[in-house]
Structure 1
């Protein structure tokens, strides 16, 4: 049985840093992933492994010692722990990212997408990027209070805040915690622009706020659609909204006057890449006006997790998927070089890019990019900032 060493209990990231797994030191991964956790214990989850994080001094795995005690272990259940953050706005200086600040209301994500590039963040908590990432979650109930305080600081310069770029703000636990809605209420009052990326139809719950912000040019929403195959989505991103519900969310948002786009992300070569045109067409028909795509990224612990998933769910595609992916990543599972990490390189990557460009042009997507405005920003007056003495 795996236990996190007690010495890691207090290891935390700085209050929601601009985490980018591509800037971390990589580590060696075996070509064959370790044995998967028993299916009954991980039912409804995306990852099949729960290996120790890369910072742990000891690596522990579950195995059957012949006494059948492994069958008595309980299934993984979602646990949520409150985290009293000290700051909430994350900054980044990555040259290939269009925003310089973001907010993450939660650590970990119950959607359980096996390919999620944010999984390595859980290693900083002394937890596994595998099943722990999607079952042992952290919520920041003071996020809205912190946001109001940070926006009211003297000298704050408003620019678009991105939400959903790491973990999904509309994951299932948002129904109970409502942290994202509280954040929206603060941004709405302050006339602060934001962009949202999500895989959840729960975003439609907040149409009342989002539509008012859209009238002032303050918000745009992107729905990520990986595949239109419901069965494939069920195994690859088990607790995210179904593809049909995501398309319905695009329609509902668009009908409410909210600028909406679709992200074909991630594109998995030899598995979902053939659906690119179909996804763009379906999203366009639902009302999306903009689109983008991102190639599958496998930084750090994500690589063995994804390869294990492939071996269990698509063993006939394993070699084909990995060979094509490596041909776009310089022979490796992943290449973190800025400017290449999102699209890859080589003939296959160029072909994907050309297909996307032609399909988007044919459908009229990206014909006009909706630009958000920060001109009407009003700093909060009760943000809790200490007043100067002189």
Structure 2
């Protein structure tokens, strides 16, 4: 079959709703590095958002015991009662928010929670305000629900945080959602209570707007900055807020696929209906593991966060010697998001003309074998995202290679 015929055939069978949806660039970047490694290249990938620690032993043991007890059947679509009680206790313990069991649900990862919420509430043309830089999937999830992402650029000078005046200007009669990620992927920005208070005041004046707080990196913070969540700051917004979290990042459980949320019971009912017609419940074994994670010892979470901080500081110490790289110190998550704009218009050591962050990421991979994700993927051109959830030796080597790459660039003419 010719390429033209194949293209025509694809248009015939693929729905219009997928036409504007892109593959996840973080996944694609990781796949490119894997392909280079498989081809025999010496590569170091700084593309992953997956902790490099093993899942804690007591969590793994709980999963094994659940298998041995025969807990391998379908559960309630929104999760076992035991897990939902543990989730409710987690929200009250960490944020002072009280949710009843019918206001809690578990899903196959936090991403499914977000997708459930958008699909259950968005009508064609409804708008979702998304501060940028943002996680790559938010706009596409909104688009899959036939909504319109409204991207609000947030400047480095304001800590990459949405300001109340920006939120007010972005709101229109079609605004359905505000999506906040705290701490933020890719910037590591942390919204504290004082940061969220002005945003809450705006939202109180607009009673038809729903709020999604994606707090998946909540436990990975450094220094004195403590991330807050909307309902914690303004309880009056509880009846229109979805508070999203999960086990992936805090407990090194990305592959277990277990996310959860607290939300108004009417919305939980509709999200449960949707989940019942898609995946049904999350894995019963994953739920048993999550129960152990949430109710077991939490010192392992603190230990992992301390290790990430040490690696953050190590990377920053090396990269400050890279000419043309301007990197803010992140307060949370496990990414650096440096600006590379000073490199545009320059030529790499092997003669590649650098016009944008996409080209820079490609050149860095080809010339030094270091994989990063372009900032364009996060709707913030002029930056790159690099993860530091790899071993210290590999991280050091990757950062040294990056310094060498930037040192070899020709000066701007």
- TM-score for both structures, normalised by structure 2: 0.25
Q: Which protein is richer in helix relative to its size?
A: 2
Bigger relative contact order, structure 1 or 2 (CA pairs below 8 A, ≥6 apart): 2
- TM-score for both structures, normalised by structure 1: 0.26
